[in-house]
Amino acid sequence: MIDVINSPVTVLRGIGQKRAELLAKLNIHTCGDLISYFPRGYLNMSEVNPIDQIQNGQIATVVAKISSDVSKRTGKRVTRYMFSVSDPKGNTIFVVLYNQTYTANRLHPGMTVLLHGPVSVIGCVRRMESPKIKIEGVPEIEAVYPLTEGVTGASLSRNIATALEACKSQLKEMLLPEIRKQADLPERTEAFRMIHFPKNMEEAERAKRRFIFEELFLFTVGVRILKLRLRKQNAFPLQPMDLTPFLKQIPFPFTNAQKRVIRECFDDIRRPWPMSRLVQGDVGSGKTAIAAAVAYLTAKNGKQTALMVPTEILALQHYESLSALLSPCGVKVELLTGSMRATQKRDILLRLEAGETDLVIGTHTLIQKNVKFHNLAVAIADEQHRFGVQQRAAIQEKGENPHMLFLSATPIPRSLGLVLYGDLDISVLDELPPGRIPVATRKVGTDMEDRLYGYVRDRALAGEQAYVVCPTVEGSDEIKSAVDFCEKLQSTHLRGVSVACLHGRMKSEEKERILTEFLQNRISVLVSTTVIEVGVNVPNATTMVIENAERFGLSQLHQLRGRVGRGKRASYCFVVSDDSGEEATERLNAFCKTNDGFEISRRDLELRGPGDFLGNRQHGLPPFRIADLARDMKILEQVSQIADKLFEDPSWFILPENRTLFVASSEMLRSATLQ
C-alpha cells in the first residue's frame, strides 16, 4: 500500500507539477505537509451584526434577504454587479461585487445570504463592496492560511480536503486514549478535520489545542528518551573527598541553595553514568563557587576538568577567581585562549596532555583538534546558552563520556526548561548571598544627561566606580557608540576623572590591562559594549548606565545590571532611552519594576518570543508548526506532568501501543538537534 502521507502532493487529484511548485513556496511538498499546514486564524461569521447598528468602516457580518434584482454594468476591464439586502425591519445594505460572475448568477431576490466585509455609511445609506458572500447553510467559520502568489485560500482549502480524504486511513494516533481523556483532546483524524473545516469556533480551538499539545508532548518525550540513553553510557565515578582545605579558601559562607546544588552535583558524579546537569542562577547567586567545588573534587580524584566560557574576558575573570580559590589547595589551574602566543599555548597543551594540569579554563579554543587531555572527567560550560549543540558535543568528545555541568545566568521558567533541557537535570540557585542590596533601577531620557553624568562624576570622586554601556563599538548618529561616547565623556562631563573604553575588537592584552586597572580602581568609569555582560566582578562598581536601552532585550539588561550591586554599598542602574514606542516603554518599565531574573525572563519570553529570547537554532529547538512556547506555557506544564507519569514505567516505549509515539518523538528530536 502506497504511503500517501509521505508522498509528493502530485499524487493527489487536482495537483499537477505547476500547482506543486506553487505549494513548494509555502514549504508544502508532501501530502503530510499539506494536511499539517495549519490555519493562522479563522474568519468567524457566526456573530451577526444588526444592519441599523453598523458604523462607518466597521467590518460586519450580515444575514439578510436579497431585496432587489442583481443589476449588471460592464466596463472595459470590470464587470460590476449590484443588489440590495434587507432585514425584517426594512434596514437595507447595498452590495457591490466586481467580476464575480459565477457568484452573481447564483443570486436572486428572496434568497437569504451571509455577507462579511467592511461597510461604508454615507448619510442613511450603507454600502458593502466586495464582501465575502455565502448562501445560507454554508459553514460560518472559514480557515485563513498564510498564502503566496498564485495560491488562494479557496484553492488551498480544496487541496487540503483532498489530502485529508486520501490520508485519513493512514493517520496514526500518537496519544493513548487515557492521555487524550486526561487532557480533553479529540482523536487525531477528527482533529485534522476540525482544525481545517470546523463547524464552529469551539471545534477550531479544541483542534488547535490538540496539535499544540501533541507537538510539545512529542518533543518533551523525545528529550527524556535522550536522557535515558545518556544514562546507559559509562562514566568514571568520582569518589567523595575531604572538602575542608577547599572550604577554608572560600571567603564567604555558602548559601543553603549552594550547599544543595553542590550536593546534587556530587551525587551525580559518584554514579557510573555521565552527569548531565544544568545549574540556573540569577546574577550573583554563586555559580562560580559550584564550579570550583566540582573542579576541586575532580582534581582530588586525579582527574581533569575543563571550563569552557564564551569570551576571553570571562575566561580571564574565571581564571583569576578560581586560581585564588583552588591553587592554595594544590589544584593546578591553567588559562588557554586563542590570543595567546604560540609558544605559551604549546607549553600549556603539553602540560594538559601530560596530566600536569587539573583545571583548564578557556574559550572555544578548548574544542580545537590539537587540544588533548590526559584524563578529562568533567566538562563545565558557563553561560551555556552561548554555545551551540555541536560545540557542547565537541567538548564531550575530549574525554570518555565526561560528566557535563552547564551553568546559566539566564533563568527561564521551569516548564520551559523541562522542554528545552529535558535531557538535563536542573538545579536552581534561588538564593542570593546574605547582605546583597538590590540594585535600584531608573529609566531616564537623554535630556537628563547633565544630571546623570554629574552623579556618575560625584560617585567617582567619592572613590566608587561605574560602567557605561553602549550598543555599538563605533559610529552612528542615533545610537551611542563606545569609542565616540567615551571621548565625549572624557572631554565634557567626566573631565579629570579616569575614564577608559573597552570593546570586543581590542587585542586580548589591551582588554586584560584595562580590566585589571578597573579592578584595581585605577580606572573610575569604564565605557564598554556588552563584553562586560557576564563574568566581570568588581565589587566597588556601584553605578551602571545603559545608553539606548531600548536596543537590548530584558534578559540582557538584567545581565548588565548584575555587574553592579556586588559590594556593600547601595547601587543604581540607569536605563537611558528616548524611545516612546509602546513596546520599548513596556519592556523598560517592566525591567525597572523587578530584580527577579525568573520574572524578567518570563516577560522577555512573552515580549520577544522564544526565537529572539533563546538566540539561534543551535539551541536544539524543533521547528514547531503550531506551538508557541511563550503563549502555550499552561499546556506545556500539563504536558510535563503527563510525561512524568508516562516515564514512571521504564518499559513504556517497548509496548506496541506506544510505538508510534516513540518513533515520532525520536524523529522530532533528531530534526531539532540537526538545526
Residue 673 predicted with pLDDT over 80: no
pTM for this structure?
Answer: 0.67
Q: What is the pLDDT of residues 375-393, one digit of tens each?
A: 999 999 887 555 555 566 6
Q: How far apart are CA 271 and CA 260, in angstroms?
A: 18
Note the pLDDT of residue 133: 87
Same domain as 256, residue 126 = no
Note the pLDDT of residue 618: 37
Note the pLDDT of residue 132: 86
Q: Structural domain tally of the chain?
A: 3
Same domain as 370, residue 460 = no
Asked if residue 673 is part of any domain, the answer here is no
What is the mean pLDDT of the segment spanning 544-562?
A: 91
- Are the C-beta atoms of 141 and 194 separated by less than 8 Å? no
Residue 139 predicted with pLDDT over 70: no
Give the structural domain span for 104: 47-135
Note the pLDDT of residue 657: 85
- DSSP string across 21-60: HHHHTTT--BHHHHHT---SEEEE--SPPPGGGPPTT-EE
Query: Which of 135, 155, 170 lies at the terminal end of a domain, its last residue?
Result: 135
Query: Which of 113, 135, 157 lies at the terminal end of a domain, its last residue?
Result: 135
Same domain as 343, residue 298 = yes
Q: How far apart are CA 554 and CA 325, in angstroms?
A: 33
Q: How far apart are CA 546 and CA 548, in angstroms?
A: 7
Asked if residue 216 is part of any domain, the answer here is no
Q: Which residues pair with 92 in a beta bridge?
A: 86
Asked if residue 640 is part of any domain, the answer here is no
C-alpha closest to that of 252 among 228, 280, 285, 278: 285
Same domain as 509, residue 550 = yes
Tally Cβ neighbours within 10 Å of residue 653: 18
Q: How far apart are CA 490 and CA 468, in angstroms?
A: 12
Note the pLDDT of residue 614: 47
Per mean pLDDT, which of 177-186, 266-275, 528-537 is the most reliable? 177-186
Residue 648 predicted with pLDDT over 90: no
Same domain as 531, residue 588 = yes
224 or 28: which leads in pLDDT:
28
Asked if residue 499 is part of any domain, the answer here is yes
Asked if residue 33 is part of any domain, the answer here is no
**Which CATH number characterizes residue 69's domain?**
2.40.50.140
Instruction: Kindly indicate the confidence band of residue 675, based on its pLDDT and cuts at 50, 70 and 90.
Output: very low
User: DSSP state, 240?
Assistant: P
**Which CATH number characterizes residue 314's domain?**
3.40.50.300
Q: What angle do CA 444, 445, 448 make, to 5 degrees?
A: 85
Q: Which helix (H) or strand (E) holds 493?
A: none
What is the mean pLDDT of the segment spanning 15-33?
A: 95
What is the mean pLDDT of the segment spanning 608-615?
A: 52
Q: What is the pLDDT of residues 437-459, one digit of tens each?
A: 889 999 999 999 999 999 999 99
Asked if residue 655 is part of any domain, the answer here is no
User: DSSP state, 472?
Assistant: B
Cell, residue 339:
590570543
Site of grid cell 529570547: 613
User: DSSP state, 99?
Assistant: S
Question: What are the two backbone dihedrals, phi and then psi, of residue 300, each rounded to the nearest 5 degrees?
Answer: -70, -15
Asked if residue 600 is part of any domain, the answer here is no
Same domain as 379, residue 253 = yes
Query: Which of 79, 110, 135 lies at the terminal end of a domain, its last residue?
Result: 135
Residues in the chain: 675
Asked if residue 81 is part of any domain, the answer here is yes
* Whole-number average pLDDT of the chain: 87
Q: How far apart are CA 484 and CA 275, in angstroms?
A: 47
Q: How far apart are CA 316 and CA 330, in angstroms?
A: 20
Note the pLDDT of residue 32: 94
Q: How far apart are CA 319 and CA 341, in angstroms?
A: 17
Residue 570 predicted with pLDDT over 50: yes
